[in-house]
Chains A and B, each alone.
Chain A
Amino acid sequence: MGSDYDDNASFSDFSLGPEQLEAIESVLQEELIDSGVHSVMVIDMAGNIISQLDNGNCDHDLYSLAALASANFAAVDTMAKIVGEEEFSLLFHKGESENIHFSKINAEFLLITIFGKDVTLGILRLKVAEAIQKINAIWE
């Protein structure tokens, strides 16, 4: 083992205090759930759920969703690099009644939003951008 390894990058080194988590939850509530979003999650790139909120009518398998969402994001990100892009800015899957929107909060975290017909993509992107700005301010 040489100096190539970061001894401080321990295998288990991340936690958030209850105050920070509550602050993040209230941002998710005010910016997204109150705007009509069905379900929203903050996850890390490894697929762990950091924070999660929904409108009370969602019964998704969130741990599987988080694992797949982080893998999907990572796969798309790698594809972007292969074709010479830094990243693809819009990641969005449209369904018959449910849609999923992915957004990068920072190098380590993603915001996953599930919403229906009552929210337009334009409004959603606006709200997501505002939420991300506020969440990043909490972490700083």
Chain B
Amino acid sequence: MAFVNMKSKEVQAKIVFYGPGRGGKTTNLEYIYGKFRERIKSEMVSIKTHGDRTLFFDFLPFDIGKIMGYDVKVQLYTVPGQVKYDATRKLVLKGVDGVVFVADSQVEQRKKNVQALKNLQDNLATYKKSIFKVPLVLQYNKRDLKDVPILPMEVMEKDLNSQLKVPSFGASAVTGHNVVPTLKKIISATMASMQNVLK
């Protein structure tokens, strides 16, 4: 549920990075934070464990400028990917306007990607939202890995995107490859879904 402030002509929208644990959700945000440091006025907020795993969420407010006369602020969030943190994962999803699903390209993570996508569908459903309607972009992360076997893009498309048919990117959050295109895609999809409100 994005908020449109008619008085200050400002829009706030919530975009959540979702996906299996250790898939690179936080790394995506860290790359964006580094890349657009001069446009991001506040510090990135991370609530994590001593082992550097996301415990609750990461948060990055991102000012993207004017769209249709409105000052658009995108709030980027990640969820904790570990299965045991489902309760907090669900909380972060509340009021979501757009989702980036970060899948892990490693062959051994194949099953976890599918499980996490199903979990996204289930958790959206608790807010009466359909995974087929929420603005959604898939990112097949870790394409840069050389030492471990990774899944061909076609296999990942078949596993995760055969029914959804949403935009998808092969990417590397560590090197930054396709991180910004992923972000641009989800922002434009989210803004397109809000057009009727902004008229």
Q: Which residues of A contact B (CB under 8 A)?
A: 1, 4-7, 9-18, 21-22, 44-50, 61, 63-64, 67-68, 70-71, 74-75, 78
Contact for B43 among A4, A12, A64, CB less than 8 A = A64
Number of A-B residue pairs having CB atoms within 8 Å of each other in the complex: 112
Whether a CB of chain A sits under 8 angstroms from the CB of B155 is no
Q: Which residues of B contact A (CB under 8 A)?
A: 1-7, 12-14, 42-43, 45, 56-57, 59, 61, 73, 75, 77, 87-88, 91-92, 94-98, 125, 127-130, 132-135, 190, 193-194, 197
Contact for A75 among B7, B88, B129, B134, CB less than 8 A = B88
Q: A48-B2, A50-B3, A63-B61 are in contact. List 16 more A-B contacts (CB 8 A).
A: A5-B125, A6-B128, A7-B133, A9-B127, A12-B13, A12-B190, A15-B3, A15-B5, A16-B6, A21-B5, A21-B7, A22-B7, A48-B3, A64-B45, A67-B45, A71-B57
The CA of A5 and the CA of B61, in the complex, are separated in Å by 29
The CA of A9 and the CA of B124, in the complex, are separated in Å by 12
Within the complex, the shortest CB–CB distance from B143 to chain A, in Å, comes to 29
Instruction: Given A11-B129, A64-B42, A78-B91, verify A48-B12 contact (CB < 8 Å).
Output: yes
B197 near A64 with CB under 8 A, answer no
Contacts of B56 in A (CB 8 A): 71, 75
In the complex formed, the residue of B with least CB distance to A60 is B42
The CA of A46 and the CA of B125, in the complex, are separated in Å by 16
Selected A-B contacts with CB under 8 Å, 24 pairs: A1-B130, A4-B128, A5-B125, A5-B129, A5-B130, A7-B133, A9-B129, A11-B129, A12-B1, A12-B13, A15-B4, A16-B5, A18-B6, A18-B7, A21-B6, A44-B95, A46-B94, A46-B96, A47-B14, A48-B3, A48-B14, A48-B95, A61-B43, A75-B88
In the complex formed, the residue of A with least CB distance to B93 is A46
Contacts of B1 in A (CB 8 A): 11-14, 44, 46, 48
